[in-house]
Amino acid sequence: MLKVSVVILALINFTVLALDPYDPYIDIPFKRVKTSAQRIESFGYPAETHEVETEDGYLLNMFRIPYSPNLDNAKSPRPAVLIQHGLFSCSDCFLLNGPDNALAYNYADAGYDVWLGNARGNIYSRNHTKMSTKHPYYWAFSWHEIGAYDLPAMIDYILATTGEKAVHYVGHSQGCTTFFVMGATRPEYNDKIKTAHMLAPPIFMGNTTFDVFISLATVMGSPGLGAELMQNQVFLPMNPVIQRLLDMACSNDPHFFSFCKIVGRWWSEDVGNLNVTLLPQVAETHPAGISTNQGIHFMQSYVSNEFRQYDWGPKKNRARYGTDVPPSYDITKITSKMYLYSGLADESANVKDIARLPELLPNLQELYEIENETWGHLDFIFATQVREIINDKVIAISKLHDNL
């Protein structure tokens, strides 16, 4: 039954791909959907768009709120922060709560130079110096490459542009996984980080209880036919059909709301404290595009209960890594000042799995468990109380570090 559903999923995905008529670049289907820069400007904040090239030729777009109109601090020194989104998401997720409650604006209003990253493959980062998105190798990446190449390129770009020596870093979900990959595989980057805030970090995943994810993991979480069918392709790209469906389902029309919740369940389980007025905007900006390998790599973390590189199967692993089993990431090399945030109702980044991290992290400052039994995976960015519970704390720690 499950095998059949994976074959069906693969067929749907191939069909969607075959029909995808959009340019590889920012292929936002409707003109009325704003880019991150337009969203920022619509609230009277200054916005910039920057293109960053990675070592392996991917071209990423970052958005920047260089200063705050409320502080009029364009000419004063401003420390920089890089904020990095999770799976299926993009820079928009840190803006949708609006100027009073979204992390990006809160940081700008606290005197920061705010940079929003976009991982390769999402709607804002679909260009490459040599390959088109139809090239068979374009989508052959997982969060390993995002951590090993995209984050370092974005950090170096920020430092070169601002003249700062280090940045603060905030990641949600996969934005944490990629930070761990960077710290372990490119340890020289640890010195370029002032403080690192990991909101709902999926690192070890053996205790995940997210049911959709677990069922898929039984077929795709280990090398074999399921993974072979799905790997190295874009998963559900932004597409007029899908977007139209989501727009309709997640509009404020109550008739469709339960459908929206079902679709939402594919992204994450828990919508307990979600700001529901956000849903139409979430639907118009998500899913922002991933390679299937990113999802498969997370499923492998669940099956192996280890944090290690992508498993291509013994033969390809030997060619690539020199061992049958992929090498584990050595997270004891992550010397950045780190803060972990965990939610009791988070089914993807389970508290039990996060509890394995402290003894391995040499410079952990705090493991902060949100004191609310209903706090879930998406609440870290979309909860109605996200400002008081998350943003204010993250920013207070950053300011303390900068003596602001």
Ligand X SMILES: *[C@@H]1O[C@H](CO)[C@@H](O)[C@H](O)[C@H]1NC(C)=O
Contact positions vs ligand X (CB under 6 A): 25, 59, 96-98, 100-101, 127, 129, 206-207, 273, 275, 277-278, 281, 305, 352-353, 355-356, 372, 374, 384
Element (H, E) at 159: helix 151-162
Q: Measured at CB, which residue is nearest to ligand X? A: 206
User: Where in 54-128 does DSSP place strands (E)?
Assistant: 58-65, 80-84, 113-116, 127-128
Find the shortest distance in angstroms from Cβ 159 to ligand X.
Answer: 23
User: Where in 140-278 does DSSP place strands (E)?
Assistant: 167-172, 193-199, 234-235
**Alpha carbon 198 to chain centroid distance?**
11
Find the shortest distance in angstroms from Cβ 352 to ligand X.
Answer: 4
Element (H, E) at 175: helix 174-185
Find the shortest distance in angstroms from Cβ 272 to ligand X.
Answer: 6
Find the shortest distance in angstroms from Cβ 206 to ligand X.
Answer: 3
Choice between 5 and 374, CB closer to ligand X: 374
Show the tokens assigned to 320: 């690539």
Cα–Cα–Cα angle for 332, 333, 336, rounded to 5 degrees: 100
Choice between 3 and 134, CB closer to ligand X: 134
**Alpha carbon 348 to chain centroid distance?**
13
d(CA 172, CA 390): 11
State the DSSP string of 297-338.
HHHHHHHH-S-B-----HHHHHHHHSSSSPPBP-GGG--S-E
Instruction: Catalogue the active-site residues.
Output: 173, 346, 377
Choice between 162 and 384, CB closer to ligand X: 384
Q: Are 182 and 160 in contact (CB under 8 A)?
A: no
Distances (CA, A) of 17 to 11, 21, 22, 109, 243: 10, 9, 10, 41, 14
Choice between 9 and 395, CB closer to ligand X: 395
Choice between 22 and 256, CB closer to ligand X: 22
